[in-house]
């Protein structure tokens, strides 16, 4: 079967804003009354109305934890000159309804039986908060949070972190870095802040690219294995995943035979030459997930069971995920005679 276009409306959810919490002078949390099924570290993709009629799409990580009883929430920090973040900070109000894609992303711990080192800068704290709260409330390992901000005033979730320190005094360590007092973070500076016994830890990093690189180096010299370091990159989407897409027809039987197991259902089709797997699957009517189609959000991740693909762009998967066979459907073209893959 082939179809001419894909109506992405089936992937959207309407979110009712229940409460807006002012976190700092330039950041807000939007708490939703709509129940959501998500994993710690995942993000929503919101449709942001625009005065010129063409809405923009932006990703925002859930700062709430699915493991606690709290309502689903995102936290947004103003970007200077930015469109969506300023619209949200200025306009969002209780009672408002926003359109979103379902939660997506692979910045999600796959195991909880090791100590965690969480490293965040600025708004990068949002997925880290979700992971932190989940680790502390549902699992038993130690957690070290290293949190960099411009100044003490710009620290989001300061009260929540104080409360967690009171509840988990032996399992949680929080170390702050303030740029206004200590300058830009350095390898040696971050290493000094780290607890000494992090060798066995899994690390999750979120913040600006140069900060994450400094943090990665400090972690590696502190004994954290490179393959246990996971990163989330924040960037604005340049495409609009809310628009219907017109995938390449695949019904001719020409191309690489693919067997795809999607949420337990097996689909067989051919992926035409030079066509990315996401387009081929959408063309077959397969409900394959995607958001950015640019290789930087991880929403379209799948696991290769056999065969090989070439990825045009990969701005999100790390070495650990690649070694496990994870690939991006929006960027992958088959380079073997056949393929078997799985989307969970």
Ligand X SMILES: Cc1cc2nc3c(=O)[nH]c(=O)nc-3n(C[C@H](O)[C@H](O)[C@H](O)COP(=O)(O)OP(=O)(O)OC[C@H]3O[C@@H](n4cnc5c(N)ncnc54)[C@H](O)[C@@H]3O)c2cc1C
| Residues engaged in binding ligand FES (CB under 6 A) | 290-293, 295-300, 316, 328, 330
Residue number, 27 or 300, with CB nearest to ligand FES:
300
55 binds ligand X (CB under 6 A): no
Window 220 to 239, contacts with ligand X (CB under 6 A):
234-236
Residue nearer to ligand FES on the CB measure, 124 or 295? 295
CB of 150 to ligand FES, least distance (A): 29
- Shortest spacing between CB 315 and ligand FES, in angstroms: 8
Instruction: Indicate which of ligand X, ligand FES, none lies near residue 330 (CB less than 5 to 8 Å, by partner kind).
Output: ligand FES
Residue nearest to ligand X (CB): 82
Instruction: Out of 15, 17, 76, 135, point to the residue binding ligand X (CB under 6 A).
Output: 76
Read off φ and ψ for residue 187, nearest 5 degrees.
-55, -55
Question: Which of the 8 DSSP states describes residue 95?
Answer: T
CA pair distance 286, 283, nearest whole angstrom: 7
Q: Which is nearer to ligand X, 8 or 233 (CB)?
A: 233
Looking up tokens 């930087």 gives 296
Minimum distance from residue 240 beta carbon to ligand X (Å): 13
Tell me the C-alpha distance between 13 and 58, whole Å. 15
- In the numeric block, the tokens 């340049």 are attached to 238
Residue closer to ligand FES by CB (options 20, 48) is 48
Indicate the residue among 275 and 296 with the shorter CB distance to ligand X.
296
61 binding ligand X? (CB under 6 A): yes
Could you give the CA distance from residue 335 to residue 332 in angstroms, rounded to a whole number?
Answer: 9
Q: Distance between CA 339 and CA 344 in Å, rounded?
A: 16
List the one residue from 17, 84, 161, 301 that touches ligand X (CB under 6 A): 84
Compute the least distance from the CB of residue 127 to ligand X, in Å: 7
Site for ligand X in 269-298 (CB under 6 A): 297
- The item of ligand X, ligand FES, none sharing an interface with residue 76, based on CB under 5 to 8 Å by kind, is ligand X
First to last CA, the chain: 22
What are the strands, taking DSSP E only, across the chain? 12-24, 27-32, 43-48, 56-61, 73-77, 97-104, 116-121, 143-149, 172-178, 202-206, 229-232, 256-262, 265-271, 301-306, 309-311, 326-328, 332-334, 339-343
Quickly list DSSP for 5-45. Answer: -B-GGGGEEEEEEEEEEEEETTEEEEEESS-----TT-EEE
Burial pattern 139-159, b for ≥16 Cβ within 10 A else e, equals bebbbbbbbbbeeeebbbbbe
Residue 126 interacts with ligand X (CB under 6 A)?
A: yes
* Torsion sign across C-alpha atoms 45, 295, 321, 324: positive
> What CA–CA distance (Å, rounded) separates 154 from 190?
19
Q: Any contact of residue 101 with ligand X (CB under 6 A)?
A: no
Choices 56-64, 92-100, 183-191, 322-330; region in contact with ligand X by CB under 6 A: 56-64
Tell which residue, 269, 300, 298, 296, has the closest CA to residue 285: 269
Interaction of residue 262 with ligand X, rule CB under 6 A = no
Q: Which does 60 bind (CB under 5 to 8 A by kind): ligand X, ligand FES, none?
A: ligand X
77 binds ligand X (CB under 6 A): yes
Q: For ligand FES, which is the closer residue by CB, 11 or 142?
A: 11
- Least distance to ligand FES, CB of residue 229, Å: 20
Does residue 175 bind ligand X (CB under 6 A)? no
Residues that bind ligand X (CB under 6 A): 43, 58-61, 74-77, 79-86, 105, 123, 126, 234-236, 297
């Amino acid at each position: 079967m082939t179809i001419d276009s894909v109506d992405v409306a089936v992937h959207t959810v309407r979110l009712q804003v229940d409460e807006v919490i002012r976190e700092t002078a330039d950041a807000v949390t939007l708490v939703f009354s709509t129940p959501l099924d998500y994993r710690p570290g995942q993000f929503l993709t919101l449709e942001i109305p625009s005065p010129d009629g063409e809405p923009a799409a932006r990703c925002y990580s859930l700062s709430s934890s699915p493991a606690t009883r709290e309502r689903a929430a995102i936290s947004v920090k103003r970007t200077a000159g930015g469109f969506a973040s300023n619209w949200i900070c200025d306009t969002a109000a209780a009672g408002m309804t926003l359109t979103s894609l379902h939660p997506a992303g692979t910045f999600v711990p796959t195991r909880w039986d090791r100590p965690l080192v969480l490293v965040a800068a600025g708004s990068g704290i949002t997925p880290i908060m979700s992971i932190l709260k989940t680790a502390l409330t549902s699992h038993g390992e130690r957690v070290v949070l290293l949190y960099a901000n411009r100044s003490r005033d710009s620290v989001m979730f300061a009260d929540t972190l104080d409360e967690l320190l009171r509840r988990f005094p032996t399992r949680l360590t929080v170390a702050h870095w303030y740029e206004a007092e200590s300058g830009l973070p350095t390898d040696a500076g971050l290493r000094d802040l780290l607890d000494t016994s992090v060798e066995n830890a899994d690390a999750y990093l979120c913040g600006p690219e140069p900060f994450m690189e400094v943090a990665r180096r400090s972690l590696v010299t502190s004994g954290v294995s490179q393959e246990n370091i996971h990163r989330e990159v924040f960037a604005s989407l340049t495409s609009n995943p809310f628009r219907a897409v017109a995938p390449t027809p695949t019904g001719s039987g020409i191309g690489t035979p693919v067997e795809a197991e999607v949420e337990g259902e097996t689909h067989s089709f051919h992926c035409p030459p030079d066509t990315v797997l996401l387009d081929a699957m959408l063309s077959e009517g397969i409900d394959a997930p995607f958001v950015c189609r640019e290789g930087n959000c991880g929403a379209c991740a799948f696991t290769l069971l056999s065969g090989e693909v070439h990825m045009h762009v990969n701005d999100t998967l790390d070495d650990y995920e690649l070694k496990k066979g994870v690939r991006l459907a929006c960027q992958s073209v088959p380079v073997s005679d056949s393929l078997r893959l799985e989307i969970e």
